[in-house]
Amino acid sequence: LILTSVVPPELPIELSLAVNTSLISLAKMGIYCTEPFRIPFGGKVDVCCFDKTGTLTSDSLVVQGIAGISSSSDKSKIDLVPAYESPLETQYILASCHSLVMLDGELVGDPLEKAALQAVDWRITKNDTVAPSRGRRSSLNIVHRFHFSSALKRMSTVSLLTTPTDSTSSYIVSVKGAPEVVKNMLSIIPSDYDQLYLKLARRGARVLALGYRKLGRLSMRDAGSLKREEVEKELTFAGFVVISCPLKSNSKESVKILKDASHHVVMITGDNPLTACHVAKELKISSKQLLVLKRIEEGVFLWENVSGSITHPLEIERLAIRQL
């Protein structure tokens, strides 16, 4: 008697009608639901989180060029050199610092690394050897890899370099990674290093710093036994590789539909925060001013706007008291 009074007998029928109506509406929009009982749970969703690369932006990455290797009198202008016209050392890094493999005649691996290899017009042959697609120039045999780590934000390789002008081979270290990480490994840091990569990131480009070090002649055993901390130091700067990630054609429309439906849209990415802010602005994820939380030193954080003109310290003690 109590259950009958609390739960109206019409409720199951009304729920079934609501689900069926929702199925028809979704089908008209080209959305087909294989588990109709999920629809009531879908109505509870109010936050939508998206990855950036490959989800909001396209997988077809484009290498725009190499920055920081040509000197220009006009500091406001960024000179981009095509990857295949960059210095040989820069090409060595892009051609050897990767985890790509050939599988059944097809290049398999990270889309970014594939785009970089194609940009310098090199190809992978057997036994982890890379060589230019045209001409008889240098070749590199990758003997040791220190794979990319999201915590370390970098990758490095040790390769055996063979050139047509030298009868003997030598070893070279190739490193690529986040500019703020590679900076601490350089023997000489360019004066406009920070200014240049931050300017590129604010334009929405994905920026990786490149560095190399010539090890000279080593035995195969010694080269293969090198530790990561032994090779990732005293590097020579070889430029910034600038990569664009165009938005997918339906990203703006999808975000607008979700926001119009009172959903909170969140973008999650491991890219540079300034690059993420540019994409968020393009998609109109937020109408407010975007701020980036920067770590100055241990326990000291700072809020900064995209242009860097406004800063505000984060008061951790007050925040901790508020949470308590």
Which active-site residues does the annotation give?
A: 51
In DSSP terms, 62 is beta-bridged to 244
245 CB-side CA count, 13 A: 25
Which helix (H) or strand (E) segment holds residue 198: the answer is helix 193-202
Phi-psi region of 172 (alpha: psi -120 to 50; beta: other; left: phi over 0): beta
- Cα separation, 93 vs 213, in Å, equals 10
Q: In terms of Cα–Cα distance, which of 157, 158, 181 is closest to 169?
A: 158
Contact 178, 154 (CB under 8 A): yes
Determine the 3-state secondary structure of 170 from DSSP: strand
Contacts of 297 (CB under 8 A, 6+ apart): none
Q: Name the burial class of residue 98, with classes exposed (0-12), middle (13-18) and buried (19+) by CB atoms within 10 angstroms of its CB.
A: buried
What secondary structure, in 3-state letters, does 102-144 show?
A: EECCEEECCHHHHHHHHHCCEEECCCCEEEECCCCCCEEEEEE
Distance CA 137, CA 125 (A): 15
